[in-house]
Amino acid sequence: MTDATQALIEQITSARAEQRQLRIVGGNSKAFIGRATTEGEPLEVGRHSGIVSYQPVELVLTARAGTPLAEIEAALAEQGQMLAFEPPHFGGGATIGGTLACNQSGPARPWSGSVRDMVLGLRLINGRGEHLRFGGQVIKNVAGYDVSRLQAGALGTLGVITEVSLKVMPTPAVTLTLVQEMPADQAIAQMNRYSGLPKPLNGAFWHDGKLYLRLAGAESAVNGTAQQWGGERLNDADTLWQQLNNHQLDFFNADRPLWRFSVNSTAPHWQSEQNWLLDWGGSQRWLSGEGDPAVLAEQANAAGGQVSLFRGGDRQGEVSPALAPPLQKLHQRLKDAMDPDGIFNKGRLYGWM
């Protein structure tokens, strides 16, 4: 529980004055995300930590960016609440600031929203060393541009997040997981059909010939739906969903590149001879193995979305989806608007930025 704002501002201001690069580090649990860069001295946000305020009846929690997710989740659990976006911890130490910067959400994402969806406001130090406050601690707020949610996925390239206010939600009374055996294309159809029904679906992934469906909500609703849908009920399912979320399943362990496809949930299954795991009801698809980035990008495009090289592989090249020229120009201008001297996380998101 320390407030390191002043130290962070000083390090940023002097880095700017001396034209030095800074590499923003939270819990270092997601160092593998983005491009491999060695440039810059570390700016340790992990020491800026602690829950600033938490009002369960307002469904709002505010924490310093370096606060470990584990600490936040423990405080929420005491009140029967949770982070509905189920952020991954990736081996432990993950912080709320890093989670937002990397826009990381877990299996419930299509139904309960993402970390970006739950952000109400934040504080951030821009490249000029100014400590700014955007959004607020209330659920609705449309004054000014939404600089808070803009940070989701920016990988720290637009500023150093120092504090985040989030909407939190009640923990569902009951959860239950059903398993059904079926091939991928049938699972895609099933996940989409079920997602279109007013049932308490809250997780749906397919791997290795099995479709896993998680129901969460009021007891009566969960049991009623489980009876209608059928399938085998899985014991100790929480562990499975956690392993999925934190990439601890065998599928993720292989020493091979891991590609993340974010596509139309109904896109037909392709390259079925390859090693796939389909999550988020079909809209987030993981491919484990070597691939030609250009060919994969083509496939992602045909499926209505994008592909990124999530882990492993060649991290000197681009790992994020390429941008059309007018969009690339806009990204560069936005970068200049927030970090005019380009001191934050150079090359982490895109080689050209």
Partner 1 sequence: MTTATADSSNADIKSVLAAEFARFLPPDSIIADEETQKPYECDGLSMYCEMPLLVVLPETVAQVQQVLRLCHQRGVPVVARGAGTGLCAGAMPHSDGVLLSLAKFNRILDIDPLARTARLQPGVRNLAISEAAWPHGLYYGPDPSSQIACSIGGNVAENSGGVHCLKYGLTVHNLLQVEMITVEGERLVIGSAGLDSGGPDLLALITGSEGLLGVITEVTVKLLPMPEKAQVVMAAFDSVQTAGEAVSAVISRGIIPAGLEMMDEHAIVAAEAFVHAGYPTDAEALLLCEVDGTREEVEEHIQQVAGLFESMGASIRVSRDDAERALLWKGRKSAFPAVGRISPDYYCMDGTIPRGKLAHVLMAMQDMSAHYGLRVANVFHAGDGNLHPLILFDANMPGEFERAEAFGGKILELCVAVGGCITGEHGVGVEKIRQMAIQFGDAEIAQFHAIKAAFDPVGTLNPGKGIPVLKNCQEYRALKPDGMQPLSHVHGSTL
Distance CA 17, CA 248 (A): 43
136 binds partner 1 (CB under 8 A): yes
Which residues in 261-280 contact partner 1 (CB under 8 A)?
261-267, 280
Window contacting partner 1 (CB under 8 A); options: 20-28, 52-60, 205-213, 235-243: 52-60
Distance CA 222, CA 235 (A): 15
Which residues in 232-261 contact partner 1 (CB under 8 A)?
261
Find where tokens 């139309």 sit: 264
Find where tokens 């790992």 sit: 319
Q: Which of 137, 180, 186, 275 binds partner 1 (CB under 8 A)?
A: 137
157 binds partner 1 (CB under 8 A): yes
Determine contact, residues 172/202, Cβ cutoff 8 Å: yes
Considering only CA atoms, which of 100, 101, 99, 106 is closest in space to residue 245?
106
Q: How far is the CB of 135 from partner 1 (least distance, A)?
A: 8
Q: How far is the CB of 339 from partner 1 (least distance, A)?
A: 10
Q: Which of 116, 269, 311, 346 binds partner 1 (CB under 8 A)?
A: 116
Window contacting partner 1 (CB under 8 A); options: 9-17, 39-47, 179-187, 198-206: 198-206
Among residues 204 and 303, whose Cβ is nearest to partner 1? 303
Contacts of 288 (CB under 8 A, 6+ apart): 251, 252, 254, 256, 257, 258, 259, 274, 275, 276, 277
- Identity of residue 67: T
Backbone angles phi, psi at 123, to 5 degrees: -115, 150
Find where tokens 């060695």 sit: 38
Among residues 48 and 116, whose Cβ is nearest to partner 1? 116
For 285, the 3-state DSSP assignment is: strand
For 196, the 3-state DSSP assignment is: coil
Among residues 47 and 170, whose Cβ is nearest to partner 1? 170
Q: Which of 19, 78, 145, 250 binds partner 1 (CB under 8 A)?
A: 145
Determine contact, residues 246/89, Cβ cutoff 8 Å: yes
Which residues in 9-48 contact partner 1 (CB under 8 A)?
none
Q: Which of 1, 144, 230, 235 binds partner 1 (CB under 8 A)?
A: 144
Which residues in 283-342 contact partner 1 (CB under 8 A)?
283-284, 303-306, 308, 320-321, 323-324, 326-327, 330-331, 333-334, 336-338
Among residues 42 and 80, whose Cβ is nearest to partner 1? 80
Backbone angles phi, psi at 310, to 5 degrees: -75, -45
